[in-house]
Amino acid sequence: MVTRRRVLAGSIGGLLLSGLRTDAFAAAPSASELLTALPGKRPLIKRTFRPPNYETPLADLRSQITANDSFFVRYHLASIPDVDPSTWRLRIGGASAKRPLELSLDELKRGFERLELAAINQCSGNRRGLFTPRAGGVQWTYGAMGNALWGGVRLRDVLNRAGVNGDALEVVFDGADGAALPGTPDFVKSLPVDRALDAHTLIAFEMNGKPLPHWNGAPARLVVPGWTATYWVKHLTSIKVEPKAFDGFWMKSAYRIPTGAFPGARFASQENAQTTPITEILINSLVTSHANGDRLERGRPAELAGWAWDGGSGIGAVEVSLDERRSWRQTTLGAAPSPYSWRGFRMALDTAKPGPVQIAVRATGRNGARQPEQLTPNPSGYHHNIIQTLTLEVV
């Protein structure tokens, strides 16, 4: 069914970019960053070669929909097969499934109602490289995220075909990617059964109207809108409905945050007194029109613009402060294709007077949640969503 991808990248054009700018409040993650192209991708910021971890440069995050060829790539394990879609099978079973079944890609595409949904796919550790104190792991800055149109079928419909028993507690997902060593825990994730049965949780085989790119989970992946990307299992091969909590490494030891430290949905069957799984994306925003330190030409019209998003309540307001957070003014919001998509904001900047322009941006959700001033420390560097600040200079 799968052939091993012996050499991940055929030809690579490497390019060193020096002096990449970062937040005024953040430690620079590195003095230089390597832009490298994986096969089928544009040059992205290389964090690690193997397993491949590549983030999207700010310039490629300026469109409402992030292009497939610049969408970030994140893997834990380095054995990533080229899955043949014609022989690929998805197996649905588990102790709480009434009628285990197996689906070909064609059966999956034809056998269920199809839909398309715009949603943010954001790594739990996005911006980890900007954490103070610093946290170990992939040192992402802003680009371990993107917004795409995911096309597929409802996981709920597939699970109902298999029949979900009343005792079902979690649904467990495995993909075709694996580890180099037999002793390394396979990347397997679970969801609470109610989140798996949510009408917005998809098995997607299309991304922005095209078949899923290899590096983003071909031929089919899980899409869990509003939840961080750790649950969006790629190269999906197995779904198991189970009456008990899944106890694999990637649930019990990884992707956990201090219990009660953050807002967001609770994953009760995986929670203990100390830690709990990360779940929903927290409210956040990103300026994409400018980077910290950019210069503005005096007297020339300029506009600050970017995106705001949360875990699905929808964005209510994005405000900008130009006086060190003493007063805030509303920006103009754009459309949101879905509550799980990011929403644009923009505001004209006054360029009449020369000198620094200190900017702070904060988003507020329809549920009242607002970006915080301070980071909540946590060992793995998750949920970096503090108010972004940048200083531009009118010259």
Options 48, 86, 87, 391; binder of other proteins; rule CB under 8 A: 48
252-258, Cβ contacts within 8 angstroms, sequence gap of 24 or more = 254/380, 255/124, 255/228, 255/230, 255/380, 255/382, 256/380, 257/378, 257/380, 257/382, 257/383, 258/378
Q: Is residue 79 part of the contact set for other proteins (CB under 8 A)? A: yes
Instruction: Give the residue with the Cβ less far from other proteins, 160 or 253.
Output: 253
| Residue whose CB is less far from other proteins, 187 or 345 | 187
Report which DSSP code applies to 324.
T
Q: Which is nearer to other proteins, 43 or 339 (CB)?
A: 43
If one counts every other C-beta atom within 10 angstroms of the C-beta of residue 274, the result is 8
Separation of alpha carbons 295 and 391, rounded Å:
9
Closest approach, Cβ 378 to other proteins, in A, equals: 14
Q: Which of 144, 159, 202, 158 shows the shortest CA–CA distance to 340? A: 202
Whose Cβ is closer to other proteins: residue 252's or residue 370's? Answer: 252
CB-neighbour burial class of residue 184 (10 A; exposed 0-12, middle 13-18, buried 19+): middle
- Identify which range of 26-34, 152-160, 346-354, 358-366 contacts other proteins by CB under 8 A: 26-34
50 near other proteins, rule: CB under 8 A: yes
Query: For residues 351 and 298, is the Cβ–Cβ distance under 8 A?
Result: yes
Least distance between other proteins and beta carbon 385 (Å): 20
Taking every pair of Cα atoms in the chain, the longest distance, rounded to a whole number of angstroms, is 70
Q: Tell me which of 56, 70, 124, 139 binds other proteins, using CB under 8 A.
A: 139
What character string, x for contact with other proteins (CB under 8 A) and - otherwise, covers 179-218? Answer: xxxxxxx---------------------------------
Q: Does 377 bind other proteins (CB under 8 A)?
A: no
Q: What is the nearest approach in angstroms of other proteins to the Cβ of residue 5? A: 6
Q: Which two tokens stand for residue 169?
A: 């507690």
Distance in Å, CB of 25 to other proteins, minimum = 16
- Smallest CA-to-CA distance from 281 within 339, 330, 333, 235 is with 339
List interacting residues with other proteins (CB under 8 A): 4-12, 14, 27, 29-30, 36, 46-52, 78-80, 134-139, 179-185, 249, 253
